[in-house]
Amino acid sequence: MVRDFIDSSGFLEKPNVEIIKPNPLSKDLLERIHSLEYIQKVKRISETGEGDIDIDTPGFKGLWENALITNGATVTGVEAILEGRVNHFYTPTGGFHHANYNTGGGFCIFNDIAASVHRLLDAGFKRILIADFDVHHGNGTQSYFDKDPRVMMISFHEDPEWLYPHEGYIHEIGEGPGKGYNINMHFPLDAGDAVYRYAFDRLVPPLVNFYRPEFILFLPGFDAHYRDPLAHLNLTTHMIRYVAEYIHNAAHKWCGGKLGVVSGGGYHPDTFRWGIGEVMSVITGHEYSAPTQNPPFEDDEETWEIVRKNVKEVEDLVFPLHNLVPHD
């Protein structure tokens, strides 16, 4: 579906766009990000087609090969940037941020973000930004790096009280040397573009400019759209593009353009395609505009009150750790 959409939208005709054949995730990286016991479990399920990764993540025959190639695609993109072949990559099958060392879940088998970060650390990168705007908190990814200041993770997501994986509260700011490098900002039900942009503008630029990342991995958050059936936020693709434009500019400002984009979630076919079109437009420079959208709600005063309170809490917890001054 994604390939057909990108093709029909004209992106594959552009001189600065190419398709790179993905390689499977390497044994070395796989065994660094997941336990041998869990790896063997995935193999068994894949061979027999019996059993589940988790209650929401059913097994099937061929699961092993599928997971290796979809996760390997993200690392292949990283390799292409390290080789100087491209500045940016986009993979529609990446963003498996719920998988952790011992388990999968949330439709995620292996964690391609963790694998990519390890590859970048091996290459000598010391400041890697994970900009995770998926509507579901990236709990698996957080579990790998919340003690490591070489990785900053900024996650904007729906309130964990209401949405899977029920993690990613504001007070989760990292531990030990990584304290202050794990930033969680969550939103109440029905939060829309206005409050989201307010929170983004208050939190993200100061943190990114402080951190000066050398490489950015970006999950745009297509499932935060108001038409998505698995969540309850109220965004449009205008906000998705706004976030993508900032992240893209930040990559050029701080990283020499080193930017990897992975789809993450997105469970309405139309809005998934529209979001991809907007992000592809941003990172390629080629024109695309999603259809007009009319969300069912505007941000009311109660929503504003909750978001202002949450933003202030994030600022008060994190900013002083980096000598940043919170807003009044």
Residues with catalytic roles: 98
Peptide bond into 269 cis (omega under 30): no
Task: Return the DSSP state at 22.
Answer: P
Cα 94 to chain centroid distance, Å, stands at 9
Return the structure tokens found at 137: 């908190």
Task: Report which residue type is found at 233.
Answer: L
Cβ proximity of 210 and 180 under 8 Å: no
Q: Which of 155, 107, 106, 177 is nearest to 314 (CA)?
A: 155
Residue type, 2: V
Residue type, 47: E
Residue 225's beta-bridge partner residues?
235
Strands of 151-158's sheet, edge to edge?
88-91, 259-262, 215-219, 128-132, 151-158, 182-187
CB 287 within 8 A of CB 108: no
Residue 37: φ, ψ to 5°: -60, -45
